Amino acid sequence: MTDARLQTVSNFENSFPPGAMRKDFQKIRMKFLEGERELSKSELADNEITRYQVTQFYQNQIRNSGYYEQLKYIVEPSLKEFYSPGELDTSGEGDNTVVTGLQHKYAQTGLLLTTDRCASYCRYCFRKRIVGKDSEEVAPNFYNIAEYIKQHPEMNNVLLSGGDPFVLRTEQLNRMMDHLLPIPHLTSIRFGTKTIAFYPPRFADPELPALFQRIINAGKTPVIVTHFDHLGEISAESERNIRKLRAIGVQFLNQSVLLGKVNDNAEILAKTFAKLHELGVRPYYLFQGRPVKGASHFQVPLHRGIKIVRDINARLSGIQKTFKFIMSHYTGKIEILDIDDNNSIYFRYHQNKDAEKIGKIFSRQYVADSYWLDDLLED
């Protein structure tokens, strides 16, 4: 990616009104969905309000999509962010950090925090504690990370996350590969990204095919995990770039988050997954929203989520319904299976630190308006 093109993305970095970042006590005017408010920088910081940043591309896409009234909630700040209860690290990322910037929660997978920046910032982000900030959790170098991975032959894949690795220049991604590709037991290199929705021209970078070819030549599979939550986010330019990269051997999966007011609608999610399937992007996870401080107002009650998932599956063919409805809990990745007539909700561990628990089915008694495993009663 050329510097000029990177600039196109980072032009949006100073999106707080002029002067917002100069002095803590200085009042700034900020637009919320509920109207404009005057706030100080310290009020924003104390309440963990993520900076406002949206690419012009995504603004145009959602305005022209016919779904603006739903999609605006993804990127436009709300005053609810000041009051939504929760934690900043709901899945124990800090506890699973083994080297700065590397998490090792599940035996086979290493999760790398490559950057604290994204092309735009999602108001529901579960990494609010990191994104748009100068976070000390981001990998300062890849030498120490590679040394750890070399000592852990059970780790066969890494997920480059953040923030979003595709706000980094291709040259920076190549430098990470210098450390990762020589490790023989890594068989796939995964990139988690929403830039394919926020700024798809990034994926037309003429230097990217060579990066993916390098991964393939090293005997590893390059995988891009896109993050489309809604049909209206899939632009013609996203489609073009996905098709081009698939043609050179990049595998695509998609993860979505079930979000109140945005996509808590079986018809929309079924259309989204059908469209992704058509593009060769395999729907993989539909995440239950996490109880994140400042973002828990996006959560959908579990019983509604289960009903929505049933209705999505009723609309899709067998080869389209490849997703799992997942709660990324402190104890592991838990598939949410179903609720029975006695109000028992059934779950299964899809991933767990303790391999013996993987695949185990268990149940909890449903409690009205519950959103998370911890809200439920032991059966």
* Contact footprint for ligand SF4 (CB under 6 A): 118, 121-122, 125, 127, 131, 162-164, 194
Smallest distance, ligand SF4 to C-beta of residue 360, A: 29
Q: Which residues contact 5 (CB under 8 A, 6 or more apart)?
A: 201, 202, 205
What is residue 186's three-state secondary structure? Answer: coil
Closer of 71 and 125 to ligand SF4 (Cβ): 125
Closer of 146 and 225 to ligand SF4 (Cβ): 225
User: Which one-letter DSSP state was computed for residue 250?
Assistant: -
What is residue 276's three-state secondary structure? Answer: helix
Query: Amino acid identity, residue 13?
Result: E
Q: Nearest Cα to 55, choosing from 5, 113, 114?
A: 5
Smallest distance, ligand SF4 to C-beta of residue 163, A: 6
Evaluate whether 165 touches 192 at the Cβ level (below 8 Å): yes
Closer of 181 and 234 to ligand SF4 (Cβ): 234
Closer of 269 and 339 to ligand SF4 (Cβ): 269
Smallest distance, ligand SF4 to C-beta of residue 266, A: 23
What is residue 161's three-state secondary structure? Answer: strand
Smallest distance, ligand SF4 to C-beta of residue 321, A: 24
Alpha-helical (H) ranges within the chain are 3-10, 41-46, 56-64, 68-75, 142-150, 170-180, 195-198, 208-217, 236-247, 266-279, 302-315
Evaluate whether 290 touches 302 at the Cβ level (below 8 Å): no
User: Which one-letter DSSP state was computed for residue 281?
Assistant: E
Closer of 9 and 345 to ligand SF4 (Cβ): 9
Q: What string of DSSP letters covers 325-353?
A: EEEEETTEEEEEEEE-TT-EEEEEEEEES
* Cα→Cα distances 9→54, 73, 140, 166, 336, Å: 9, 21, 22, 10, 37
Smallest distance, ligand SF4 to C-beta of residue 15, A: 13
The residue behind tokens 């990049």 is: 250
Smallest distance, ligand SF4 to C-beta of residue 121, A: 5
Smallest distance, ligand SF4 to C-beta of residue 128, A: 8
Smallest distance, ligand SF4 to C-beta of residue 139, A: 15
Structure-token pair, residue 170: 């291709």
